Amino acid sequence: MRLQHYLSILGLAGVVAGMACGGGGGPTPPPPPPSISSISPLTVSPGDTLTIKGSNFSTVASENTVTFTNPSSNTKPSTVR
């Protein structure tokens, strides 16, 4: 009887510990959004290299995309602000 009682308490402790460690079976929260700390150079022309530094970017390079839109139809170099 004592062994069965001990095993019941041990099993309950395992369930509580699993829930405390995130093992509750709930959905995984989404990762935080990327945060940009710097962009350089600030003025670029088509074909130039632009460096964006920050945190929370994907470790898979193809999952990190940047899109620049130009609301006007001119093709002058743009400045990033």
Amino acid 70 reads N
CA separation for the pair 20, 64 (Å, rounded): 33
> Model confidence over 3-52: pLDDT tens digits?
454 445 545 444 445 555 555 678 999 989 999 999 999 888 888 998 99
Residues 53/37, Cβ–Cβ less than 8 Å:
yes
Residue 55: which of 35, 38, 30 has the closest Cα?
35
pTM for this prediction: 0.49
Half-sphere exposure of 4 (CA within 13 A, CB side): 1
